[in-house]
Amino acid sequence: MSKSLKLLLTAATLTALGAAASAQTYGLGREALPEEVAAWDIDIRPDGLGLPEGAGSVLEGEEVYLEVCASCHGGFAEGTGRWPPLAGGFGSLDGEDPFKTIGSYWPYLSTVWDYVHRAMPFGDAQSLSDDEVYAITAFLLYMNDIVLDDEFVLSNENFTEVRLPNEDGFYMDDREESPLWGAREVCMTDCAESVEITMRANILDVTPEDAALREEREAAASDEVVEEAAAEEPAEDPNAIDMELAEAGERLFRQCSSCHQVGDSAQNRTGPVLNGIVGHPAGQVEDFRYSRPMETAGDEGLVWTEDELHAYLEDPRGYLRGTRMAFRGISDEGERAAIIEYLRTQE
Amino acid sequence: MTDSHHKNGTTRRGFLAGTAMAGAAAVTGTAARATGPDPAITEVQPWARYLGEGVDARPYGTPSEHEAHVVRRNVEWLTADPISSVNFTPIHELDGIITPNGLCFERHHSGIAEIEPAQYRLMINGMVDRELVFTLEDLMRFPRENRVYFLECAANSGMEWRGAQLNGCQYTHGMIHNVMYTGVRLRTLLEEAGVQPGGEWLLAEGADASAMTRSIPMEKALDDCMVAFKMNGEALRPEQGYPVRLVVPGWEGNMWVKWLRRLEVGDEAWHHREETSKYTDLLEDGRARRFTWEMDAKSVITSPSPQAPITHGPGPMVLTGLAWSGRGTIPRVDVTLDGGINWVEARMDGPSLDKSLHRFYYEFEWDGSPMLVQSRAHDSTGYVQPTKDELREVRGENSIYHNNGIQTWAVAEDGSVENVEIA
């Protein structure tokens, strides 16, 4: 933005505000109560405005991090799969493969606190206590070598003393000063002697195939399944599915769906595909990398009966120490029953 | 340049040949001749004999079953999870300037929030005289307006920075849509709350599980922003922010906060995740531009394109595409068939609205030889869409956002089309 334009905009803002002061009001809406503002106004600024009282240490942060963050962001904040890395990448920004992390790229620590608090863990937002958010933030500073002492405690008292290395790496949009800005003469005829193709998308071959072709193929595959099923002996089902309960379970399953997929096109994500999981041996979904304890449990003959699923879903980490499932569990038995009933419908 | 395009560029002979062909067609009145009676005409078709469905069959109409391929599509390898991801508008299948509601691309950070309208609240707080809460009904009692605006994700064409990657304008340019919004001026709501002196910034926040936030300068908020509850006449779709979203005309789509729940007035920007870690433009020297809000002028040929090849062979054909600018209107688009050696002005058609998509056409006689087609937009400020190489000259190759470089499609003799880069 040019200086003159900035001045102009400031003048415009002042005029606009002047107009706003005398503007017509309609008397619509109602005054927000202080408790309501407090409930929603959770944003944090670089100057520390909005930070609640609290504190957390690197070691406390590591514990929470390993429980609720590591399954996507990796045990060393290196990121797993396509999930974002959070640490490392120093000095990479002007190279061929910039590695943008909190340590290498983010300008302000307040952004970390604000984002973790408002949006993480993915699928369970705003579930962390203020102290836990301080602790995770402290741990991420440690993983980025910004604090070196694992006894470090981050709190609202010392928060603004911590500066991120790339704070000065940003500047205001200056596109209007670039040579591409403003009216340019264009050439209309004989603008080049010749042109040639220098790169082709076909060679990379990363475009998704046409959905119609894929659906045709999938439909053909599912026809086979239907025929196979039809060939089997019809049997009385002693355990008819309670559709109403399953529907309630489908809604509750949303909290699982950020990691687990079900249905025809389901794929392993952070967690394994759950088609046919009820009654299925544990740790056996193809191509999914289980934790060692889950693998062992499966090898030792654990089968996901409804009772076992109840126990696992009530307290995943208590049930199976070392499971990768970063989920706090569902204490309500009725909710667990609904989710299990829904899973029974997913063959 | 003439109406005719030839292997060796445009020649006077080519022009004459083209004219002669057009003349011949005019004399006989038709170019094709039937080899026998057409059963589509001579046989009574089922729809001409039997009754169709009645008025109760389709209380909310959907497209013909023969249009089932016209859908938003995802590129699975782009993101870790479809819940925090993007899909793409099938712009190669659309015409005119309005995007149908069900085809507007989606970008979610924590999936689609399903909000009960009776539980919807919008709060204005911070540096205002009165901190207020509005229900949906309250919002609908303010004076309304209707405006057509494009919404483009700043990452549209982001996968193409280092070269041609994806075969299809749906994927290269489909993070865009253009609808008519009905809503209340943001200014009206801010006046209702009374912005205090020094309130130079606005934080907009969503009600979804990512509680998306962006800082918006007050001059923009008081200029043309809207708090919208309808798109193309009907309620916003859930995936577009039902029941209420912010409209920030001409500026990057990430700022158009969906499921809008809160507006906070402050004296400084918040520098939240979506305006630091994301939506900043890393340049070659390792420094980054921030607050690159406006979308630069851009255009793309939607047909022919990789997903919309030429199937009819040589002869008269229609080339068409879209152009837009976050700084105004598009008075002119140039088109080339030979990779930029010679250009012609395309024909603009349909409404020319501020910060809206514009439709252009170029009708010509294709002789069946290979083409390298491009379009080049000029906006109402005089800005001209740059080539990708001109853009890389300024930006380097480490950018993601704001790639408005000229797109090249290579059309082969068989009419198939590929995404290429040329020099």
Strands A170-172 and B288-290: parallel
The CA-atom distances, in angstroms, between B369 and each of A290, B212, B408 are 56, 50, 16
Question: How is residue A106 written in tokens?
Answer: 């983010």
With CB atoms and an 8 Å threshold, state whether A172 touches B203. Answer: no
Same domain, B275 and B357: no
CA of A261 vs chain B CAs: smallest distance (Å): 10
With CB atoms and an 8 Å threshold, state whether B123 touches A36. Answer: yes
Is the pLDDT reported for residue A279 higher than 60? Answer: yes
Chain A residue numbers with beta carbons less than 8 Å from the beta carbon of B381 are: 182-183
CA of B419 vs chain A CAs: smallest distance (Å): 5
Q: Which CATH number goes with the domain that contains B194?
A: 3.90.420.10
Which of B135, B276, B381 to mutate to probe the A interface, most A CBs <10 Å?
B276
Is the pLDDT reported for residue B27 higher than 80? Answer: no
CA of B268 vs chain A CAs: smallest distance (Å): 8
Tell which residue, B359, B380, B344, has the closest CA to residue B301: B359
Among B194, B383, B423, the residue with its CB nearest the CB of A195 is: B423
Same domain, B262 and B310: no
**Cβ atoms < 10 Å from Cβ of A135:** 26
Q: What is the pLDDT of residue A335?
A: 85
Composition of chain B by helix, strand, coil, percent to 5 = 20, 30, 50
Contact B75, B166 (CB under 8 A): yes
pLDDT band at A220 (very low <50, low <70, confident <90, very high): low
Q: What is the full DSSP assignment across B253-300?
A: GGGS-SSEEEEEEESS----GGGTTSS-EE-TTS-EEE---BPPPEEE
Contact B267, B198 (CB under 8 A): yes
Same domain, B275 and B204: yes
DSSP SS3 for B47: helix
**Amino acid letter at B88?**
F
pLDDT band at A333 (very low <50, low <70, confident <90, very high): confident
Is the pLDDT reported for residue A77 higher than 60? Answer: yes
Cross-strand pairs, A183: B383
CA of A171 vs chain B CAs: smallest distance (Å): 5
**Separation of alpha carbons B124 and A91, rounded Å:** 41
pLDDT in tens, B255-288: 999 999 999 999 999 999 999 999 999 999 999 9
Is the pLDDT reported for residue B377 higher than 90? Answer: yes
Looking at per-residue pLDDT, the higher value among B25 and A220 belongs to A220
Strands B4-5 and A197-200: unpaired
Ranges of beta strands (E only) in B173-225 are 176-185, 201-206, 213-217
H/E element, B421? strand B417-422
Of A70-79, A157-166, A167-176, B300-309, which range is least confident? Answer: A70-79
Same domain, B317 and B202: no
Contact B372, B323 (CB under 8 A): no
Q: What is the mean pLDDT of residues B403-419?
A: 98
- Quote the mean pLDDT of chain A: 85
With CB atoms and an 8 Å threshold, state whether B123 touches A178. Answer: no
Structural domains in chain B (count):
2
Chain A residue numbers with beta carbons less than 8 Å from the beta carbon of B261 are: 40
Composition of chain A by helix, strand, coil, percent to 5 = 40, 5, 50
Query: Considering B256, B289, B322, which residue would you say is the last residue of a domain?
Result: B289
Is the pLDDT reported for residue B8 higher than 60? Answer: no
Same domain, B318 and B212: no
Long-range contacts of residues A301-306, Cβ cutoff 8 Å, at least 24 apart: A303/A279, A304/A277, A304/A278, A304/A279, A304/A280, A305/A278, A305/A279, A306/A278, A306/A340
Query: Considering B255, B270, B289, which residue would you say is the last residue of a domain?
Result: B289
In-domain check, residue B110: yes
Q: Which residue has the tokens 């300037």?
A: B97
**Separation of alpha carbons A97 and B102, rounded Å:** 37
The answer, for B203 touching chain A at a CB cutoff of 8 Å, is yes
Count Cβ neighbours within 10 Å for each residue of B216-234 and write b for 16 or more, e otherwise.
bbbbbbbbbbbbbbbbbee
Calculate the CA dihedral of residues B266, B270, B274, B276 and round it to 10 degrees. Answer: 140
DSSP SS3 for B303: strand
Same domain, B79 and B129: yes
DSSP SS3 for B416: coil
CA of B45 vs chain A CAs: smallest distance (Å): 26
Contact B168, B306 (CB under 8 A): yes
H/E element, A153? strand A153-155
Tell which residue, A227, A263, A281, A243, has the closest CA to residue A346: A263
Contact B383, A183 (CB under 8 A): yes
In-domain check, residue B364: yes
pLDDT in tens, B192-208: 999 999 999 999 999 99
pLDDT band at A296 (very low <50, low <70, confident <90, very high): confident
The answer, for B276 touching chain A at a CB cutoff of 8 Å, is yes
> Which DSSP category does B413 fall into?
T
With CB atoms and an 8 Å threshold, state whether B273 touches A12. Answer: no
Chain A residue numbers with beta carbons less than 8 Å from the beta carbon of B132 are: 29-32
The answer, for B74 touching chain A at a CB cutoff of 8 Å, is yes
With CB atoms and an 8 Å threshold, state whether A100 touches B277. Answer: yes
Contact B225, B217 (CB under 8 A): no
Chain B residue numbers with beta carbons less than 8 Å from the beta carbon of A175 are: 289, 292, 294, 296
Same domain, B282 and B342: no
Which of A13, A106, A128 to mutate to probe the B interface, most B CBs <10 Å?
A13
Same domain, B246 and B343: no
Among A41, A204, A208, the residue with its CB nearest the CB of B75 is: A208
The angle at the Cα of A23, spanning A22 to A24, to the nearest 5 degrees, equals 125
Looking at per-residue pLDDT, the higher value among B240 and A228 belongs to B240
**Separation of alpha carbons B139 and B258, rounded Å:** 16
> Which DSSP category does B236 fall into?
P
Chain A residue numbers with beta carbons less than 8 Å from the beta carbon of B138 are: 28-29
In-domain check, residue B274: yes
Among B109, B132, B217, the residue with its CB nearest the CB of A32 is: B132
Q: How many residues are present in chain A?
A: 347
pLDDT in tens, A115-161: 999 999 998 999 999 999 999 999 999 999 999 999 999 999 999 99
Is the pLDDT reported for residue B186 higher than 80? Answer: yes
Q: What is the full DSSP assignment across B318-370?
A: EEEEEEE-TTS---EEEEESBSSSS-EEPEEES---TTS-EEEEEEEEE-S--
With CB atoms and an 8 Å threshold, state whether A41 touches B285. Answer: no
In-domain check, residue B50: no
Residues of the domain holding B193: 73-289
Q: Which residues contact A273 (CB under 8 A, 6 or more apart)?
A: A260, A261, A262, A266, A267, A285, A288
Using a pLDDT cut of 70, give the percent of chain A over it.
Answer: 84
Same domain, B264 and B324: no
pLDDT band at B140 (very low <50, low <70, confident <90, very high): very high
Chain A residue numbers with beta carbons less than 8 Å from the beta carbon of B280 are: 170
Classify residue A55 by burial, with Cβ atoms within 10 Å: 0-12, 13-18, 19+.
middle
Tell which residue, B114, B143, B293, B101, has the closest CA to residue B227: B143
Q: How many residues are present in chain B?
A: 423
Question: How is residue B252 written in tokens?
Answer: 């990057």
The answer, for B398 touching chain A at a CB cutoff of 8 Å, is yes
Contact A304, A277 (CB under 8 A): yes
In chain A, the domains with their CATH numbers are 42-169 (1.10.760.10), 243-345 (1.10.760.10)
Question: How is residue A207 written in tokens?
Answer: 């475009």
CA of A326 vs chain B CAs: smallest distance (Å): 16
Q: What is the pLDDT of residue A36?
A: 98
Among B163, B209, B339, the residue with its CB nearest the CB of A199 is: B163
Same domain, B306 and B271: no
**Amino acid letter at A310?**
H
**Residue A103 phi, psi dihedral angles, 5° rounding:** -75, -40
In-domain check, residue B13: no
Chain A residue numbers with beta carbons less than 8 Å from the beta carbon of B86 are: none
Chain B residue numbers with beta carbons less than 8 Å from the beta carbon of A170 are: 276, 280, 287-290
In-domain check, residue B215: yes
Q: What is the pLDDT of residue A4?
A: 44
Q: What is the full DSSP assignment across A287-335?
A: T----HHHHHHHHTT-B--HHHHHHHHH-HHHHSTT-S--------HHH
In-domain check, residue B18: no
- Quote the mean pLDDT of chain B: 93
Same domain, B284 and B316: no
Among A96, A172, A201, the residue with its CB nearest the CB of B291 is: A172
**Separation of alpha carbons A40 and B231, rounded Å:** 27
Same domain, B147 and B268: yes
Q: What is the mean pLDDT of residues B55-74?
A: 96
Q: Which CATH number goes with the domain that contains B333?
A: 2.60.40.650
> Which DSSP category does A39 fall into?
H
Question: How is residue B18 written in tokens?
Answer: 């083209």
Is the pLDDT reported for residue A190 higher than 80? Answer: yes
Tell which residue, B152, B200, B144, B195, has the closest CA to residue B172: B152
With CB atoms and an 8 Å threshold, state whether A29 touches B138. Answer: yes
With CB atoms and an 8 Å threshold, state whether B306 touches A257. Answer: no
Contact B116, B201 (CB under 8 A): no
Query: Considering B261, B289, B317, which residue would you say is the last residue of a domain?
Result: B289
pLDDT in tens, B329-355: 999 999 999 999 999 999 999 999 999
H/E element, B420? strand B417-422
**Separation of alpha carbons A40 and A36, rounded Å:** 7
Q: What is the full DSSP assignment across B117-128?
A: GGG--EEEEESB
Q: What is the pLDDT of residue B209?
A: 96
In-domain check, residue B360: yes
Write the ipTM: 0.90
CA of A80 vs chain B CAs: smallest distance (Å): 9
Q: Which residues contact B367 (CB under 8 A, 6 or more apart)?
A: B4, B5, B6, B7, B14, B18, B314
DSSP SS3 for A246: helix
**Separation of alpha carbons B86 and B90, rounded Å:** 13
